[in-house]
Structures are given as structure tokens and as C-alpha cells.
Structure 1
Amino acid sequence: MIKTLFKPSLLLSALLCLVSTEVRAGFDFGPYPAGASPEEVGKRVTQRFIGNDYRTFGKTGILHYVETCTWYGALTFAQRSNNIDLTAQLVARYQPLFGERAKAVPPPFNVDYSIFGALPLELFIQTRDARYLTPGLYQADQQWGLHSGQVTLSPEAQEAISKGLSWHTRLWIDDMYMITMLQTQAYRATGDRKYLDRAADEAVYYLERLQQPNGLFHHAPDVPFFWSRGNGWFAAGMSELLLRLPPQHPQRASILASYQKMMAALLKYQSEDGMWRQLIDGPDSWKESSGTGMFTFAFITGVKNGWLDAETYGPAARKGWLALVGQINPDGAVRDVCEGTNKKNDRQYYLDRLRIVGDLHGQAPVLWCATALLR
């Protein structure tokens, strides 16, 4: 079975892609103040994650997308830091999903559920255990397959289908990470170019519809506000995708240009202390950690891979990391994290969102940043 999935030519293509796109640039992010190194911070935040039960969508018992995103970050951090013990604990954490907690696995009904597939795909990539491949590819394939009939297709989804895109398309900026990350993970796991092409096509569609002249993104076509975490999902999604797109890919140049345009805008709005605000362009808005973490991840990744000028963005990335570390309590909980947020055409709605401590929306980007710093 494995031999039919992994053709040598596909694997070689995937490996060459990784080699060609991960290029280290000349900026030294260290030395770090005591307790602020990526190894120390990543370990502390990962241990907190492992010590908690699964985060679910309320009483449904279905795994929440932030559980997946934090778990993914913990796995990549453990791998990059060569922490075999943490990796073993993170692998063991999945085992109940094969048995007594199987009902917690999300069905592929929407974008927030299907991102789960990125997790078993990462476990497969790291362990080569074929048990993880099936649930991961199922989610990736269903995201482009015929919808189950258990959901009503929105006008946005219907239009997307007509263009060969995912039926999960809803044109919220969060989706840029949720859809493209899953497809990119499927590409990494199999070497099959169709997954990478799906991710790139979806990214370009969202860029064309949501990116504004200033480089930032409205939450949705009918919500004209530059919400921090929403823009953060877009920044992180483009960064992950660019890591995998080979230089010759037909969509790479336009995605890279949009990424660089966004990064220039973010640089303009970064506060002196390294943080970004809940509404990026709102000086009356509070400083928020999850968006800060996601933007910092995008900066670090861009500098490390030569997509951003190291002299300009390197210091900003380091400042963002140190500001983020300053938001972490001794127990590993990140402060000032915006609560879960629906879209609403009301500026005050975003300003009034609660600030939460320890929410996984804030924990995940810390781990992404720690991984990026160790790449």
C-alpha cells in the first residue's frame, strides 16, 4: 500500500522543493535574555499543552481547530529541538483518537473541522507510521470532494466550486491557513503535486478577493476591519505555503509579492514594544498576543528564507519574539489573547472582545515562532 502512495519521483520532487525553499539568511536572532530562548520557551509551552485535556467545540466533544494548530506547533518544535521525550508524549496523546476518543475526530463538514487532518499528516511525516496517513488524506481529499449533503452550500462555496476550488471556501481570512495548510501537509506527506496546486490556487483566490491596497486584509468582504488574528492566519498561511512552493511554481511569484506587501504594512504598524494591536491600524485598540505571534512567525520565516530584507525585518522579528515572550506567565500561559471571534460589521465589536489568558489561539503561535527560530 505504501509503495503505491510514494512514488520515487514524487518523493524526490518534494525533497527538492524543501531544499530549494528553506534558505537561511544572514541575521542572528540571539543572544536571548534568560528564559527567552526558543528552546526554553517552546519546551515550557509544550509541556503546558501536554498537561491539558483536548480542547473541543463545547459539548460536541469534537476537537477544536486550535487544538490541532497547537499540537502541530508542539510537534514541529519538539522535532526541531531534538526533544525525543516531548515527541513521544505528543505521539502518545494521539492514541486515544484511534480508540476510546475516536468520536472526537472532526468530520470533514467545514473548514474549522478539516484542519484536523494536518495533525495526523505531521505525525506521519515524522514517524512514517501509515496509520496516520489515512485520516489525514481523508480530510484533505474531502475538502475538495463532493460535499456530504449534511451542510448547505453558501453562495461563496458554490462560486468556489465553479472555479475548481474547495467547497469549504467562505472568504473569511481565517480560511487562508485552514485550507492551504491542510493541502500543503498532504503534499508534504505524499509528494503529490495536486495538493500543492490546490493550496496555491486557493491562496491566490483569497488574495484577489480580500487583500486591500494597503497590503492588509479585511475579515471578510462585508466586514471592512483589519482584525489582528484574522490577518495573522493569513500571514502564517502564506508563510507555510511559501516554504513548500518551489521557485518554478506558476503561483509562487504572485503569492510572494502579496506576502511581501503584507509584511511591509505590518512593519509600519508594529508598536515600539514589538506588539501589534487587536485592530492593526487602530491606535485606540489594545495590544493582542495571538496576532503578534502569527506576525512574528511570518517575519522570522521571511528573514530566515531570504524573502524579507534581513536588516529591516530581522530586528522587528526579534522585537516581536521578545514582546511575545514577555506575555507568557511562569506556568506557560499566554496573556492578552483575543477570545474566539465571529465576523461582524461593527468596529466596536472587535474592540470589546475579551482578553483571555492561556487560550490555545495564543499558545499555538508561540510554538510556531520557536520552531521557526530553530529552522
Structure 2
Amino acid sequence: MSNFRFHRVAAFAVLAVSAAWVATGEFASVGSATDETAAASTTLAAQNAEASDAPKHTVAVKSPAFIDHNRIVRISGVTKADKKTTLATRMAGVIAELKVSKGDWVKSGDVVLTLDGPEKIAAVETAKALLKQRENEAANLEKLISRGISPKTQANDAQSALAAARSQLETAQAELDRLQVRSPFSGVIDSVSVEEGSWAPAGQAVADLLSLDPIVAAGEISERERSLIKAGGEAEIALINGRDVKGQVRFVSREATSETRTYPIEVTVDNSDYTIPAGMTAEIRLKSDPVKAVRLPRSVVTLDEDGNIGVRVVDEDHKIAFVPIDLIDDTSDGLILGGIPDGSRIVVAGQDLVTDGELVDVVDADAEGSALTTGAVE
């Protein structure tokens, strides 16, 4: 009876120990690390095998020739007169003669207006008569001195009197000239502010005078463009009436405007036929110095992960790389791009299907930028 009880107790003890061991889960760790490592190795090997077996993208590439191209800076502008001034009287008086009207062409030095001034004319005539008298006196005295009749000391007095008479005539003539208003340069009378016969005080505005040859196209360039444009450079002007003319940059400001932080520029255009008026809207196309660039279709331009604009190229190992570009110009024949290294093989088809560092197959592209081989881009 005691033996039976002992066996029952032993059996229960073994059962309890076994249950506790199973509950701990220690049995599951036996060989588990080895199994997981083997499984991971198998998965990686499968992925590598799958990647090596996957077909590579095929891209079409092109190695364009480099060209020297003038960067074009396009700005809005307006035409204006080369010179503009307001003619004014230099003294007060009644307007005796007004020789111009609006739209008249005048040459430099032409009389525009004359004030009435009979006393000025009389003063000139008096000064002329006095000068003539002093000249005769000096000549007669010289003869007397040469004969020994008059002393030589009188010659100095005669010359002084002669000089004073000349000065008096010059002063009277200057006062007479102040009665007239003359054109300081050739141009067109744009407006007239007075009437003949009216009283004009000193400084009275008489007329506005414009010089339209050359005509000037004026605009403003940005801070970024300031270093590209120089005085003496070429420019093209597209007038709003559809006419295109050529010009030359004559002025680029060295100080930006406080309001817009832009730099005023001026382009002169030949206007000898006076067919270009002042105040006409125009597009000014400024040419910078030539830069090294390539011409490519617009479709080759793409963006990298950071949103930078550029092109994709294929290196010697047939791997894709991204190259940032400088957009120099946009022409009807394509984009003019700078910043591309010499010898670059530029992806012209399939560039949006590949990523940086990707290994690709490469085919040449024709002049149109499409793959020569059918189905080349996958």
C-alpha cells in the first residue's frame, strides 16, 4: 500500500515539473536562431536572384555639340526721347515774334521766340558807333605819333578807350541776344505754352523740345541680371506695333531703385526717319556675352528628389546621374542649357523612368531625341 502511494506521488511530481518546463517555453529556443538566420539568408538570396533576373531600363542618350550662345534677358520697357527740355525766356518782355508751333522741326541754334526790346537794339547801335569812333581815334593818333607830332604815351590811353568801347558793344549785344530764345539742339516742338503779343516774365516756359534721333528704349533689369548686361552690348527691341529694331546698350545704372531694387538701363535705336515715337511700349531683349551651352529638346529636362531642375546623364558604368542645369534661353528650336560637363551622355528618352545610381542599358538617339531601336525605352 505504501509502495503504491509512493509511485503516485512520484508520478505527480514528474508531471508537475514537465508542466512547468513547458510553460516557460524554453524548449522553443532550441535551434530557433539557426532557423531564423537560414530563413533570412534564403529570402535575401531570393531577392538578389530576382533583382539580377529583372530587366534593366533602357534609355536613349545623346551627346550634343557645344555652342557659344548669348544669354537673352527680356524686360518690358518704353521708348522715350533722347533729350527733352523746356525752353524759357531769359528776361521779361512782350513776345514780339513766335516762330514755332507744335510739331515743327527745328535745328540747333534756330530762333524760337523774340521779345520786344527797342532799347536793347538802340544800345547796340550806340555801342557800335562808339567803337567806330575809338578805332578812328586810335588810327589817327598812331599816324601823329609816327610823325613825332604826338607823344607815344598817348597811345596807351587810346588803346584803353578802344578796349572799353569793344567791351561796351559786347555787353549791349549780349543783352540784345537775351531777347531771343534759341533751340539748344535739333528736334521737334512737342508743345507751345505762350502766344505772340503776350507778356512773358523772366523764366516763362515757352515750348517743350524733344530730340528723337536716336530714340531711347528704357527699362529695368533685376539684381541677378545686372552682372550680365554691359554698356555697348547688343539689344533687340520689339515694339508693340509689331516692328522689330536693333539697338545698343548705352547705359546701365550702378545703383538700384529703392522701390523695386532694379537697375535702370537705356538702349539707343537709330530713328533718323523719326518713325518711332516716344512713349511706345516695347519688349527689350538684351544680349549678354556668349556662354558655352548645348541645345536640347524641352522634354529632356526633369526634376530630382529635391525639386531641382536638371537633366539625367549616363556615366561610364552605365549608371544614371543627375546634373543641375542653367537655363540660358528658350528658343523655337529647343532649350539652350548651360552647366553640362563636356562629353556628357544626356538621357533624351526614358529619363523619368529611372533614378540616380540605377544601372541601365543604353542606345543612341537620333536628331529628334527618340530611340533608334524599336522598343528601346522600357
Determine which structure has the larger helix proportion and give its number: 1
Higher alpha-carbon Rg: 2
Q: TM-score, normalised by structure 1?
A: 0.16
Determine which structure has the larger strand proportion and give its number: 2
